[in-house]
A and B are shown apart, each in its own frame.
Chain A
Amino acid sequence: METLNPRVQALWIGRAVVVAAVLTAIAVAVDRFALAVGTPVIAALLLVVAVVGTVHAVLLFRRWQFEVQDDALYLVRGVVTQVDTSVPYVRVQHTDTQRGPIERLIGLSSVVVYTAGTRGADIRIPGLRPERATELREQLRDLAAESERSDAV
């Protein structure tokens, strides 16, 4: 089973910090204009969100794994709710590689696999090195095309 690139933790922790900052800003605004909350409470809020976010990011990284198996792409992910997903190649409609601005900064990329399903409509594998992402995307595309020929849906 393949794991993600460790740098993706930085991405997730960064997101948690941003969320914490936004919440703190809201708390400060509430404190200033609505009911008095107090600086210790705001500081505690910021700390708690940041810590929880960091722990979650680390656990999520530890959990995230995927494997290109014979007939399907298999993924294992999730912290609170663990989700194992099998995406049969014959069901893959198309594949994308995507890089958001922060991902680009960190030097990572994601692969998105699209199916006709509803719950599993787009499956995203984040935190891959760009070369690996392109490689994976093309590998999946080839596997999907091959399965189409042999299984004739």
Chain B
Amino acid sequence: MNRLHPISAVGRVLNRTLSIGAVGFFAGMMLSGPLDLLPIGAVFVLAPVGAVLGAAYGVARYYRFTYELSAGDLSVNSGVFDRQERSIPLSRIQNVDIERGPIQRVLGLAVVKFETAGGSATEAELNAISYEEARELQSSVASYRRGDTDTETGTTDTEDETGTAATDRRTERSRPTERRLYELSTVDLLTLALVSFRPAAPALVLFGVPFAQEYAVRLLSESVAALGGPARVSVELLPTYSTGELLLTGIVAAAQFVLAAWILSAAFTITEYYGFRLDYVGDDLRYRRGLIQEYSGSIPLEKIQTVTVRENVLMRRFGYAALAVETAGYAPGSGSQDASNTAIPLDDRETVLALAEALTDAEIPEMEGLPARSRRRYAVRYSLVPLVITAILAGVDALVVSIPYWYTPLALLPLTVLAGHLTWKHRGFALLDHLFAARSGVLVQTTRLVPYYRVQTVIDSRTVFQRRLSLASVTADTASTASLLGGDATAYDVDDETAHRLHQTLRDKLMSDLRARSKGFREHALDEFATDASEDPETAGPPAGETDAASSEGDATTPEASQAGDDDANRGSGSPTEQ
């Protein structure tokens, strides 16, 4: 059994010594002061006693925490008072993540986190071990999984070949080649920083303002004065301003807030994604990123539930997109999920689609849009908001207290109708040979690719309004945790017949693809993709402009937009048209 690295233990013990010592100190102060139970000297006894107890506990914890990787199992024993012995079968491990903060990088340490599909918290965390050992653990888990598959296919091979040929093949497989799939260029990193929105940033600016109050107010005053407003801005002077001055101050303040939040958000993104790279190693995807805190991890290909392409408004305008792969490992809402499952943070759409297609061995077509009559639903649904608000205000105005301009929300109507139309336009789905694709979202357009053999349950739902229009929404539920946040693969508002066909296809294809998979069908085309990448060492990933290299392999071509009449949308290996 192995222990954690002694250096990390020192930090922890120190931490405990100080905290329990502090507890002792405060207890002594309370007991001798206000409560007057003990003489003042008690503090000088309780504090050191607390410190010693803390140190002892810290040391005991260090010695009690052991882990071992052997015989297909990761065992972690921990705890001083309540002992915990955890055993995780290696085949159940979804993601292995390695994090290194700046101090850890200096000391050559790393924190390793193992995720399985069960439970919400990280299943096993080794904080901290040496970096080399962390990498070894990662490879051991991966090679164990490979070793498993090797034994299976190895036995069938010996039927066909001589013993030496089979053994040679096996040893070859046990040394996995590392191939670069993608690297984030500096330009793309900066672009990503500009187009990403980090919710933490505005929150931080808001909370930070009180601390930098003087500076912020001075900045605001100077800019407002420069634009021809009042010479000095302060809370006391606000009532003395004219409406024009108030408006100016408000706009300038808002603009400065947005700018500060944007800069902070960009800074977060840069520190998180600096040096992002994605490699194909054996049967895993390995990523590494981070400027100050370094993150790296492995994503087993066989655990990938869905592949998601995300394009927010800004990205779409400039032809960019982002790619994520979803496993069953993370708890919903945990920050680590979004970043740790990123395959491509940002690149031009062609590259992103090429990797998405390589990961799923499919050709992503144009989506089948929703029937026209469902558009009405969206316009109505979104318009309800201003209508209801106006109705409420009208009611209040008539019955309770008079409200001037109670009909103003109606001005939002054209906007809501537009929002409804856009939402409708951005929704669609497609049924491919081995994949179900669903797209939705206006501000962040998300395309989810679900291989049929990953479908868990199939759910049709019809609300009252959908029933009246003979519409239904069909969802392919998967084990990926993103589904809990409303991120499931759903074909919205399709007509009843299509819904029925879709539901049946998902069910049937799930079974047939599962059977095919057990006999070994190709799940991904990463080998070709990686070869293309290595052919062009200058640019990372298949170069955007030179799709010739990719199309000559016959993989990454996207067929033209489907004909409207082509209802039975079993697209996929349709004739490749011009790229």
How does the 8 Å CB contact mask read for B438-465 relative to A, with 1 for contact and 0 for none? 0000000000000000011111111110
Q: Name the residue among A123, A151, A152 with the largest chain B CB count within 10 angstroms.
A: A151
Q: Chain A: which residue is nearest B459 at the CB level?
A: A85
Q: Chain B: which residue is nearest A86 at the CB level?
A: B458
Q: Does A82 contact B (CB under 8 A)?
A: yes
Residue contact B514 to A151, C-beta cutoff 8 Å: yes
Which range holds the interface residue count of chain A? 20 to 34
Known: A83-B459, A83-B460. A116 touches B518 (CB 8 A): no
Q: Chain A: which residue is nearest B477 at the CB level?
A: A117
Q: Does B381 contact A (CB under 8 A)?
A: no
Q: Name the residue among B467, B506, B514 with the largest chain A CB count within 10 angstroms.
A: B514
Known: A71-B507, A84-B503, A151-B511. A117 touches B461 (CB 8 A): no
Q: Does A87 contact B (CB under 8 A)?
A: yes
| B-side interface mostly | mixed
Contacts of B458 in A (CB 8 A): 85-86
Alpha-carbon distance A91/B455, docked complex (angstroms):
9
Residue contact B515 to A151, C-beta cutoff 8 Å: yes
Known: A72-B507, A88-B510, A152-B518. A118 touches B479 (CB 8 A): yes
How does the 8 Å CB contact mask read for A139-153 relative to B, with 1 for contact and 0 for none? 000000000001111
Q: Does B483 contact A (CB under 8 A)?
A: yes
Contacts of A116 in B (CB 8 A): 117, 328, 456, 479
Residue contact A84 to B484, C-beta cutoff 8 Å: no
Contacts of B464 in A (CB 8 A): 80-81
Contacts of B480 in A (CB 8 A): 118
Interface size of B in residues (CB-CB distance below 8 Å): 31
Contacts of B507 in A (CB 8 A): 71-72, 86, 88
Q: Does A6 contact B (CB under 8 A)?
A: no
Q: Chain B: which residue is nearest A153 at the CB level?
A: B514
Q: How far is the CB of A93 from chain B (nearest CB, A)?
A: 10
Alpha-carbon distance A87/B506, docked complex (angstroms):
11
Contacts of B328 in A (CB 8 A): 116
Q: How far is the CB of B455 from chain A (nearest CB, A)?
A: 8
Contacts of B478 in A (CB 8 A): 117-118
Q: Name the residue among B117, B332, B456 with the largest chain A CB count within 10 angstroms.
A: B456
Closest 10 CB pairs of A and B: A117-B456, A120-B457, A118-B483, A117-B477, A152-B518, A84-B460, A116-B479, A86-B458, A120-B477, A82-B462
Chain A residues within 8 Å of B, Cβ to Cβ: 71-72, 78, 80-88, 90-91, 115-120, 123, 150-153
